[in-house]
Amino acid sequence: MFSRQYCLPVILIVLLAIVGIVAAPARAADGKSAHITARLVAESGTVAPNGDVMVGLDYTTAPGWHTYWVNPGDTGLPTRFEWSLPDGFTAGTVRWPTPELLPSFGLMSYGYDKEAVLLVPMHNGSHLSRGDILPIKAKVGFLVCSDVCIPESLEVSLNLKVGAPKVTGPDAATIASAQKRLPKPSNIAATVDIVNGMTELGFPLTGVSPQGAIFFPTQTGVLSAPAPQAVDMGAKGFTLRVKAANPALPDGDLSGVLKLADGTAFDIKLSRAPLSPEVQGLGAASQAKADTSLSGVMLAMLGAFIGGLILNLMPCVFPVLSMKLLSLARSGHDKKLAQAESLFYGVGTIVTFVALAMILLLARALGQSIGWGFQLQSPYVTASLALVMLLVALNMSGVFDVGSSLQAAGNLQIGARRPRLAAFTTGVLAVVVAAPCTAPFMATAIGVALAQGGWVSFAIFVALGVGFALPFVLLTFLITLMPGIAKVLPKPGKWMDGLKIALSLLMYAASAWLIWVFAQQVQILGVLLLGLALILVTLAVMKIRVPKGIKAVVLIGGVVLTAVSATLPRTTKMESLPSGLLPHRDFSVQTLTALRASHAPVFVDLTAAWCVTCKVNERLVLTGTEFEKALKDTGTVYMVGDWTNQDAEISQYLGLYGRSGVPLYVYYGPNNAEPVVLPQILNTADVVKLIRGK
């Protein structure tokens, strides 16, 4: 027996337990079948008179088994409810979470594996009083499938109380999580049509990535469930094309769920109407997905490294080739200096690649529509580079040398007074001038880097810089560490002065090329001012007897005038590049989509005046008679986009194909064929074969 001192606590505990049982609603009764365990849950244990409450069927299937959505697809049946509710207490329409694709034996079904929560809004219109119990019962029928399908049923129940609703109940988190899995309501003015046996679903939805999007129709007989849903981008949305399940659409509007690759889903109603050109015509978006796992980053770094190696063979590096050749010419006779120069050159390239990437990422974060090569889209940069290249050429050809007063002030000499600094500067110039032209492998790697940012971007651009610098560094060390090679090289002498003069021609050509690029970016007055500025700088550095003060004033005036010339940008967009291109249409997304809607084949050429690779392709392929004849014979429209200056429309189009720079060549075949992206270096035979469809 209990002593008196324990009686009072025991009585209190018993009374509290009784009160808790009376005050709280009865716990839910779980249901179970052979392959499913389920329970009813509610957001609150109480519901007010004439109030609403969200109830959910929370169920889990056995491993390897699945259930079905409201439209099960090729096979299956949706889950069914038979409710037993108090008089006046009503259940609304089931709210289905976004389904998954369930392929099986060549068929495609829509449904759920593992766990799902089906939400049902309920209304308390009963005449029960506060404190009364609301018994909710349901018999639930499933078709649960694995290799075989088995109809199963179970019963679940839940008791709620009539009363003021609680803010949260014991299962409120389950309900909240299930509501997040529901498709988002939307008022997107989507349309649907059947064209040539294909169901076309047009979504005027921007600001999302449509690649990997799937549409789940609520009605049956709309789409062929196993058929792939192909994406076609447009200027203001996208289209999904899939084989039609029937020759005609069902009567009335269609409804369904549009699920994007990131899991975001929308409840959408589609009206029956021809699709707008604004949601189609550009082809599929890039299928490359950035993989931020360690293996994915390592793969992107490998691509960047290979791209950097190949970039050394691209025409873009020709402007700085002379400085690299001059350094190699003396590497066999001053081994330590040559090795140091090669390493400083490598550091210059890596630092510049990373710096350009960081600037680009920051500009994009601030809302600027720029891409790789943005530095040469600035007239300030092209004017400055034209001046630098001219000074390098003048120095190499002997117009001024180390002993001049200007040289002492500016330290512009190549490899004489400060060879390590000169080597570092050469690396900087090489990247600034050459990097805008993307090499194979490089384009994809840069796309991943710019999409991810952070440490991923840093690692990829370091790999790109290492790949670009490695051939020159290895070649230098090979020459300096192998005595046999060093003996073959001629000894230093007057011949090196002749080599410098010969190589200076490349630098003069580079300066002239940059002036031509500059002419595409500013008014004619700006070009004249730059020409005057370069003349003043040349006079200031020449070996003529003029007081130093006058030379300094002339030099400063030339530099200031260079900056002023860049302040006069073009007020209107150029209609076409001043080149020998064939007759063409200027690039515009609207024009492209209209041509695609008319089923015309189109060859898109995105180029820039500063892209040397683009100019080489134009000279060798895109202005040739074979290319011209192929265009005429097939009725292919040649469309050229000039990215010499910043153009948000071209930047957006580049992004569709995971690119951040030019060149980009895309061929659209007739009858809305899928676009084909061509390599950066074109081959006439391959291009002609593609256009002719052979």
- Among 17-26, 321-330, 585-594, the range of highest mean pLDDT: 585-594
Please, what is the end-to-end C-alpha distance for the chain in angstroms?
A: 101
pLDDT over 70, % of the chain = 85
Q: What pLDDT score was predicted for residue 24?
A: 41
Check: CB of residue 96 under 8 Å from CB of residue 70: yes
Longest dimension (CA), the chain: 124
Question: Is this model's pTM higher than 0.75 or not?
Answer: no
| Phi, psi (rounded to 5 degrees) for 446 | -65, -40
3.30.30.60, 2.60.40.10, 3.30.230.10, 2.60.15.10: which CATH number matches 20-182?
A: 2.60.40.10
CATH class of 185-279: mainly beta
Coil/strand/helix, residue 310: helix
- The set of residues, in sequence order, having a beta carbon less than 8 Å from that of 353 and lying 6+ positions away, is 431, 435, 461, 462, 464, 465, 468
Round to whole Å and give the CA distance between 76 and 166: 39
What is the per-residue pLDDT across 486-521, written as a single tens digit (0 to 9) for each?
666 656 666 667 777 887 888 898 899 899 999 989
Round to whole Å and give the CA distance between 677 and 656: 11
What is the per-residue pLDDT across 607-656, written as a single tens digit (0 to 9) for each?
998 888 888 899 999 999 999 999 999 999 999 999 988 888 888 888 77
Per-position DSSP letters for 569-612, written without gaps between them: B-SS--SS-SS-PPS-EEP-HHHHHHHHHTT--EEEEEE-TT-H
Round to whole Å and give the CA distance between 277 and 598: 10
Q: Residues in the chain, how many?
A: 694
Rounded to the nearest 10 degrees, the angle between the axes of helix 548-565 and helix 524-541 is 160
Mean of the pLDDT values across residues 545-568?
90
Domain residue limits, the chain: 20-182, 185-279, 294-378+413-496, 585-692
Round to whole Å and give the CA distance between 669 and 588: 18
Centre a 10 Å sphere on the Cβ of residue 458 and count the other Cβ atoms it contains: 15
Same fold, 20-182 and 185-279: yes
What is the per-residue pLDDT across 71-112, written as a single tens digit (0 to 9) for each?
999 989 999 999 999 999 999 999 999 999 999 878 899 999
CATH fold of 585-692, please? Glutaredoxin (3.40.30)
Round to whole Å and give the CA distance between 605 and 618: 10
- Among 377-381, 392-396, 412-416, 527-531, the range of highest mean pLDDT: 527-531
